[in-house]
Amino acid sequence: MRSFVILCFLLCAACGPTPTSPNSNSATSNANANSKPQSGPVPVYTYEIVNTYPHDPKAFTQGLIFHDGFFYEGTGGSRRRGDDFYSSLRKVEVKTGKVLQKFDLAPEYFGEGITLLDGKLYQLTWQEQKAFVYDLNDFKLLQELSYSGEGWGLTTDGMQLYMSDGTHVIRVVNPADFKTVRTIPVLDEKGQPIMRLNELEWVKGEIWANVWETGWIMRIDPASGKLLGRIDFNDLMRRELDADEDADVLNGIAFDPATDKIYITGKKWRRLFEITVKPK
């Protein structure tokens, strides 16, 4: 999530993401979580590119959503760290990639995932344990909320928020106070944790989560944490990295429920893609 040139992702493309140890800020799993292996193989999917759009190559994408004809994007970076990219919240024109509206976070914050609920935009921070709530229309800061651990990805089912923290555990969060309501451990078909869950998106009753430093997006049952499928974008990520030395990993999933369109991009990618998913 924070590193730039990934030396080992080609191995991930060949064998899929390999679980690692959870970090010290891991949320606690449900006591009754089912850790038994799933029965049968998990489907693997590939993709087709439907449309390609420009994307700001300076945007270190941490969160992406689609709403009412526009993208809303959360970016990371910190002036205090000396980055040449900074944390912001943006409204972006789809066809041109033009930033129409922007709010810059204070220098001490590294922005992370975003989502939209009830006319409010929510944005996480990486290690600062703060969530910011903005008015959708004017990006006015309405509220600051606190949570423990790290913030990575964020999405919503229209009632509650779902938050990743870099581990295999997704937290279900109360949007009013960011208290954890329950946790969802995500396990593969062998019963092993799928670590480094990052950007999240709610897609037709599923949570889609990209796995940091890989080109894999996981399809997850939000009720049980069961793995429903893997989508392989490793070749697309490889092409984007080869095309631009400043490009970083896949990160950014957006879904338009009105049209069933799915969009993906990456950190500092020059392009954003509308895609369809099909069995591999």
234-261 average pLDDT score: 97
Confirm whether 88 is domain-assigned.
Answer: yes
pLDDT for 95 beyond 50:
yes
Q: Is the pTM of this model over 0.85?
A: yes
Number of domains in the chain: 1
Confirm whether 212 is domain-assigned.
Answer: yes
Distances (CA, A) of 141 to 31, 103, 116, 144: 37, 9, 14, 8
**Domain containing residue 120:** 38-279
Confirm whether 6 is domain-assigned.
Answer: no
Residues 23-36 as b or e (16 or more Cβ within 10 Å = b): eeebbebeeeeeee
Confirm whether 231 is domain-assigned.
Answer: yes
Q: How far apart are CA 200 and CA 170, in angstroms?
A: 10
pLDDT for 258 beyond 80:
yes
State residue 142's pLDDT score: 98
Confirm whether 186 is domain-assigned.
Answer: yes
φ/ψ (deg, to 5) at 242? -70, -30
**Contact assessment for residue 269 and residue 263, using Cβ atoms and an 8 Å cutoff:** no
Question: Other C-beta atoms within 10 Å of 19: how many?
Answer: 15
**Contact assessment for residue 101 and residue 140, using Cβ atoms and an 8 Å cutoff:** no
Confirm whether 223 is domain-assigned.
Answer: yes
pLDDT in tens, 102-159: 999 999 999 999 999 999 999 999 999 999 999 999 999 999 999 999 999 999 999 9
pLDDT band at 83 (very low <50, low <70, confident <90, very high): confident
φ/ψ (deg, to 5) at 27? -70, 155
CATH number at residue 55: 2.120.10.30
Confirm whether 33 is domain-assigned.
Answer: no
Confirm whether 177 is domain-assigned.
Answer: yes
Burial zone of 241 (CB within 10 Å; 0-12 exposed, 13-18 middle, 19+ buried)? buried
**Contact assessment for residue 167 and residue 195, using Cβ atoms and an 8 Å cutoff:** yes
